[in-house]
Amino acid sequence: MEAVVDDAPLDQEHIAKWLKDTTGPQQSAVQAATVRLEAVQTVQKFGLFLLMLSAGGQEKGQRIAAATSLKNFVKKNWNDETIMSLDER
């Protein structure tokens, strides 16, 4: 089952685009991407998508952004069973 954001399935491509946007020069795009990423953190498999991008992202910057986001996501949600299931931990 895929997660849905704005009536569209959430997948690695969405997250990869938003991560790339957070590293760009346009402040409005950075803010919009940051808001999107924060909004989808509660979606199941978000951490898994970040892990896959950090291990095999297309660009070095994307891998670094994914790894940093994954670290922050795990640190913030490790003990919250509503966000990270026991299987994800």
Per-residue pLDDT of the chain (89 residues; tens, 9 = 90+): 344 455 456 788 999 999 999 988 999 999 999 999 999 988 888 988 999 999 987 788 889 999 999 999 988 888 777 666 667 66
Helix (H, G, I), strand (E, B) or coil at 24: coil
Answer yes or no: are the C-beta atoms of 50 and 15 closer than 8 Å.
yes
Number of Cβ within a 10 Å radius of residue 66: 24
| CA atoms within 13 Å, Cβ hemisphere of 20 | 11
**pLDDT attached to residue 42:** 83
Answer yes or no: are the C-beta atoms of 53 and 64 closer than 8 Å.
no
Domains and CATH numbers, the chain: 3-77 (1.25.10)
End-to-end CA distance of the chain: 19
**pLDDT attached to residue 2:** 42
**pLDDT attached to residue 12:** 87
